[in-house]
Structure 1
Amino acid sequence: MDGASGHLHYPWETAPGEAEAITVAKGVLWIRLPLPMALDHVNIYAIDEGESWTVVDTGVKTRRSVEMWQKILAGPLQGKPVSRVLLTHYHPDHVGMAGWLMERGAELVTSRTSYLTARMLILDVEEKPTQQAVDFWVSAGMDEAHLEKRKSERPFNFADLCAPLPVGFTRLQQGDVFHAGGRAWDVHMGYGHASEHVTLWSRDDHLVIAGDQIISSISPNIGVYPGEPAADPLSEWLESCDRLALLARDEHLVLSGHKLPFYGLPHRMQQLSENHIHALDRLVEHLDRPRVASECFAPLFKRRVDEGIYGLALVETVAHLNHLLVTGRVTRERDPDDAWLWSAV
């Protein structure tokens, strides 16, 4: 779901070009890597340690990404090695090149959940959908055309876009202080988009490295997946928004995983929470008669749900329905096709 940005200020109107960098603060470079998907880029940040660099997030592993990383190492990073890779979370657009950099001597720093989940998913290669995945799609009321197509296709695997992740990492936990680039960064975990998502808040100036937990003009996907079909990540998201909002100041410069760096963090934190609260209210109104999840896109998304985003829309819709179930605002029962029919209380 998209969020408005009326009270946000963007100090940069354009992003860095290919294999280029923009200095966003003393010793902090903003670099952008391409993604082979609808959201066509990911932001990474390089923090100057003097003789080396700490890099935050890495992009996916493709031939083009490897070529760009070689140019980045020789160009903006001045030939100095990457001594540490900090992963904000385990999604492939952030973890994809971490193993490649570790092979070249970098230490991995992240939360335990991010490391274990990334390593598990990179090792878990599936040639066909599991029965659990098919059951989940059926329960969500996936239409017949999408269902048959997905059942016949090889599913996406993390290994398709991620280098192997070696054993060994340094753990970050809530309340830790991480030292990088001459700054002390307070570690605060976010939840909802990804469990134990690392955000960094500088004590020495007004920088926030937010990953996908806080983005300016889009709301990160909050989805329920076959691995935990009864999950309620939206509760975790709303709790994180409330908790992180207490830290937010207008003078914070937010460095996100996508889109542009921005000021106006208190307003954005309010938006990120309210977007979903209002969406839940619209969804309850939409459930004036029983509907399956795939019939509930309209109140949640402000654009047409096409093939490119159908899967993300479905898992986000289930997340909102699960939250309404947990909070007692809807009920559900199986229909003859074994899909959940959701109704407002």
Structure 2
Amino acid sequence: MSLHYPFTEIPAAGEQREVAPGIFWLRMPLPFQLDHINLWLLRDGEGWTIVDTGFPDDGVRATWRSILDRLDGPVKRLIVTHFHPDHLGLATWLMEQTGAPLAMTSAEFLTAHAVWNEVGGHGAQYMVEQFRRHGLDADRLDKFASRGSGYRRAVPGLPAHYQRLKAGEPVTIDGQAWKILIGYGHSPEHLALYCAKLGVLISGDMLLPKISTNISVFAATPDADALRWYLESLTVMAEEIPPQTLVLPSHGLPFTGVQARVGALHAHHEERLHALENSCEQAPQSAAGLLDVLFGRALDTHQTMFAMGEAIAHLNYLEQAGRLSREIGDDGVIRYSRLSIQSAAH
């Protein structure tokens, strides 16, 4: 089954587009190359549940005010899929505006606080050292050091309490049972919501129709096999979700065809892995030295941050799968070499 897009007209600012019974699509702008995020407003009895919050921008706040003013009941709950700023950025503000509690997974809540406070291996100083070890040049390292992580600017405040959501537990919204599905690789404990009766999956960033979500390795977990975790999460999702399910992604258009999209993502990443293997055939290569192989275009500082994390994720996958070997040079830089068939057999 190929992908099908049942809703091709994008909601205007402040518009609530119903895509399934009691489920409304909102679209908010982002100040990045990826210029939008989809948010979801769910009827919940006499009130409403919001899934994800948007980026903290005055225009987005104004749009939210116009939406909240038109609602015919209270906001009962904010559910956030993961800690990234476009999803969590306005959570504290919306809690203040509505009085609604925040619900999310434990790892996402705690990671948000670690990143915000730059502790536990999270923060610009740790990222700079990680990228140095993976071969990034001094000029770009200096830009990261002076820029900082940027998370506090993108998430102005964090709540001190939340309702914990756990894998497999049902969440009841408007009398319907939604199952919590957890995905790994894009963030520590990314939450998706699946309602079998409505035939709807709110996929967050785990499953997008056109682009591959960023899979990064962070300084706090330098040996993480994040790409394998992500691909395994997709496989589980494809096995559990029926093909006709309407997928509501955080970016791009709603679609059906989970299995086709998961298959395409597996193929995309395997093609990238082969390209990296081939590039490490003749001489050892660092993650920074392989950015052109993965991306093939000029990258600004913001894009380089994601690109380095993704390159390391692919290289960790190959090294832990026995397809590349890793060595640390006298300069302290980690480089990777392709294993010959003979050496791999040993």
Whether TM-score is above 0.5 comes out as: yes
1:202 matched residue in structure 2: 195
Helix, strand or coil: the match of 1:133? helix
Q: Does 1:227 align with 2:195?
A: no
2:343 matched residue in structure 1: none
CA deviation profile, 1:176-233 (whole Å, cap 9, x unmatched): 1111133211111111111211111112121111000111001100001222222211
1:147 matched residue in structure 2: 141
Q: Which moved more, 1:282-291 or 1:159-168?
A: 159-168
CA–CA distance in structure 1, aligned partners of residues 43 and 304 of structure 2? 40
1:30 matched residue in structure 2: 25
Following superposition of structure 1 onto structure 2, how do residues 326-341 of structure 1 map, counting pairs within 5 Å? 326-341=320-335
Q: Does 1:165 align with 2:158?
A: yes
1:46 to 34, 41, 46: 41
Following superposition of structure 1 onto structure 2, how do residues 99-110 of structure 1 map, counting pairs within 5 Å? 99-103=92-96, 104-110=98-104
Whether contact under 8 Å (2:20, 2:198) holds in the other structure is no
Whether contact under 8 Å (2:45, 2:175) holds in the other structure is no
1:16 matched residue in structure 2: 11
Question: C-alpha displacement at 1:79, in angstroms?
Answer: 5.1
2:59 matched residue in structure 1: 64
CA–CA distance in structure 2, aligned partners of residues 80 and 120 of structure 1? 35
CA–CA distance in structure 2, aligned partners of residues 312 and 240 of structure 1? 20
2:248 matched residue in structure 1: 255
CA–CA distance in structure 2, aligned partners of residues 82 and 157 of structure 1? 29
CA–CA distance in structure 2, aligned partners of residues 114 and 149 of structure 1? 27
2:80 to 81, 87, 91: 87
1:273 matched residue in structure 2: 266
CA–CA distance in structure 2, aligned partners of residues 23 and 334 of structure 1? 54
CA–CA distance in structure 2, aligned partners of residues 120 and 102 of structure 1? 21
Q: Could you state the TM-score of these two structures normalised by the residue count of structure 2?
A: 0.91
Q: Which moved more, 1:215-224 or 1:142-151?
A: 142-151
1:186 to 179, 182, 191: 179
Q: Does 1:343 align with 2:337?
A: yes
CA–CA distance in structure 2, aligned partners of residues 138 and 124 of structure 1? 18
CA deviation profile, 1:225-263 (whole Å, cap 9, x unmatched): 222222211121121111111013221100011111001
Question: C-alpha displacement at 1:121, in angstroms?
Answer: 2.5
Report the AA paired with residue 67 of structure 1.
A
Question: C-alpha displacement at 1:155, in angstroms?
Answer: 0.8
1:264 to 257, 271, 276: 257
**In angstroms, what is the RMSD of aligned CA positions?**
1.9
Report the AA paired with residue 7 of structure 1.
S
Helix, strand or coil: the match of 1:59? coil
Question: C-alpha displacement at 1:143, in angstroms?
Answer: 2.3
Question: C-alpha displacement at 1:105, in angstroms?
Answer: 0.8
Whether contact under 8 Å (1:297, 1:305) holds in the other structure is no
Q: Does 1:318 align with 2:312?
A: yes
CA–CA distance in structure 2, aligned partners of residues 148 and 171 of structure 1? 38
Runs of 4+ in 1 over 4 A off after TM superposition: none
2:50 matched residue in structure 1: 55
Calculate percent identity across the aligned residue pairs: 36
Helix, strand or coil: the match of 1:23? strand
CA–CA distance in structure 2, aligned partners of residues 35 and 80 of structure 1? 28
